[in-house]
Amino acid sequence: MADDFIKTLKLFFYIQKSHFKTAFLSVGDALSNVVIMLINNLSFIFMWWVIFHNKGSINGWDFSDMLLLNAVMNNAFAIFALFARGIQALPEYIDNGSLDNYLVSPQRPLFMIATSESTFANWGDLLTGLICWILSGYTDLLSFALMIYASLCATAVLISYRLLVSSLAFFAGDTQKLGDNIFMAFITFSSQPASIFTGWYKVMFLSIIPAGFISLIPVMLIKTAALPVFLFLSGAAVLSIVISAAFFRFGLKRYASGNRFGVR
Amino acid sequence: MTETLLKYGAFFRAAFKQGLLNRGMLSGLLFFLFILLFIYNRLWEVIGIQDNNSSLNTIYIWYLLFAEMIILSLPKPDRVLTDDIRSGTMAYYINKPISFFLMRYAEALGSMTVSFLVMGGVGSLMTLSLTGVPPFEWRYFPLIIIMCWLSSAINVLFYCGIGLSALWLESTRTLAVAVERLAFIFGGAIFPLSIYPDWFVDIARWTPFYSVYYLTIKLVYDFSWTNLFEAAVLNSLWTVLIVGFVGFAYHHLNKKVNIYGG
């Protein structure tokens, strides 16, 4: 078991090294994309600063809450885009039959699919996360540890949601664009001040589109360090992994090979 | 002149028809537009209740709709032109009795117009159902639509210019993304520039995005003939500058063209 884990870890680092090498084939491009991503994220944050500067707070949320949200969300999205981006391409793999290549691999198919793609520019998101956390004012050691933990839980929810949406391709054809749009909607929901969703909106925010586990609950955890919030977020992360992995396996059973012929 | 217009009109119509058939892309655009309108309507509703201003969401959601019509309808002509230049495809067109650049521009205009009109029609109904009444008088609606379509056409031209810069740049995609972000922030794509600090607006004024996006879209909630005139004059000025750059780049392109392979 432990041996297996170490082997998988070694493979993971090997794949990441090759992604790095690919990105650095053009150093200028790679670095400028990171900087542009950073500027893009900071321009969003500037936009929110303008709103909060004008309004003070929005339904109890202030700018430091928004910075914490951006820290967690950017970290979660960066980890997804750097280390598990392949999940986004799953519908394409299913539609064109290239999923077969991953199924015959001696490693777990989901691991191989997830790590098959990486976007180097999203290192800019990690930098944004760090900047937002520093600016938020919650810079003590406990808050930092909670921010890291909340980011990892948010990553689990985000990746699980993407896997769930991507796995729809096992049941219907040509779902790449639909999946991308649902995921984009999920990200857009996550990037708003969570306090605007009240009543039934909040129920939806924590169920059908579980964006609250990327924004509302992580921010609550970092601010309060409360055990019930910690358990709630951890439970949601575990549950989302279990549900999405089960849905993926269920879909995989239905998958019939694309009979794609090619040389690798 | 009429013959020339008919020639490029044919490219426009072909791209328009092709765009209409791409239902997956159109429904995706509408879905994303609906989510944006829904979320930002909620945001402005909450802020409106806080500020005792119930018309806040009406103003800002209609503004957002027209801003997104300009932004989301852009068909990425920069990528098409860059690919044409890099792959040498343009060499096939250069000896034809058409301008390669105008052909691509007409195609991009056709694709943009489909998305623009579909989002305008369905988006207006969505926004109307969210806000009840629009912040403008209906008699000005056609003028606002025409002004926003013209802004979209300038936007397409701008991105075509970025595509042509593949002559000098290694990666035009990076430049396109950078311009997109600048447009987003200096054009007030989500929130109008009226809520930004004065120092920031003073900087934005010197960019094309100020008039192409903000001044044009502002007509939605602040229509006056003076504002319309100001937007039209500034947009014309920026169009002249962009056309100047495109003409210069295209002239060089014709000289430098290389044919790769067959």
Cα of A96 to nearest chain B Cα, Å: 18
Residue B173 lies in a domain: yes
Q: Tell me which of A181 and A225 has the higher pLDDT.
A: A225
- Mean pLDDT, chain B, rounded, equals 88
% chain B with pLDDT above 70 = 97
Residue B99 lies in a domain: yes
Cα of B114 to nearest chain A Cα, Å: 18
Where would I find the H helices in A56-122? 63-83, 90-96, 99-103, 109-114
Residue B157 lies in a domain: yes
Contact A165, A244 (CB under 8 A): no
Q: How many domains does chain B have?
A: 1
Contact A44, A69 (CB under 8 A): no
Contact B239, B216 (CB under 8 A): no
Tokens 């969300």, residue located: A73
Residue B54 lies in a domain: yes
Nearest CA in chain A to B49: A59
Burial zone of A65 (CB within 10 Å; 0-12 exposed, 13-18 middle, 19+ buried): buried
Q: What's at A192, amino acid-wise? A: Q
Residue B141 lies in a domain: yes
Under an 8 A CB cutoff, do A174 and B35 touch? Answer: no
Nearest CA in chain A to B175: A36
Nearest CA in chain A to B178: A36
Interface of A with B in 164-223 (CB under 8 A): 174, 177-178, 180-181, 184-185, 188-189, 192-193, 195-197, 201
Burial zone of B6 (CB within 10 Å; 0-12 exposed, 13-18 middle, 19+ buried): exposed
Under an 8 A CB cutoff, do B43 and A193 touch? Answer: yes
Residue B68 lies in a domain: yes
* Joined tokens for residue B246: 């495109």
Query: What residues pair up with A190 in beta bridges, in sequence order?
Result: none
Best residue in B30, B35, B184 for a mutation probing chain A (most A CBs within 10 Å): B35
| Dist CA B233 CA A221 (whole Å) | 53
Residue B261 lies in a domain: no
Domain range for B101 is: 2-256
pLDDT recorded at residue A263: 53
Mean pLDDT of A193-198: 86
Q: What interface predicted TM-score (ipTM) does this complex get?
A: 0.81
Q: What is the pLDDT of residues A127-158, one digit of tens each?
A: 999 999 999 999 999 999 999 999 999 999 99
Measured between CB atoms, does A123 come within 8 Å of chain B? no
Cα torsion angle, B245, B154, B57, B33, sign:
negative
Q: Which of B45, B171, B185 sits opposite A43 (nearest CB)?
A: B185
Residue B179 lies in a domain: yes
Best residue in A36, A44, A45, A52 for a mutation probing chain B (most B CBs within 10 Å): A36
Would you give the end-to-end CA distance of chain B in angstroms? 34
Domain boundaries, chain A: 2-254
Q: What are phi and psi of A61, to 5 degrees?
A: -95, 135
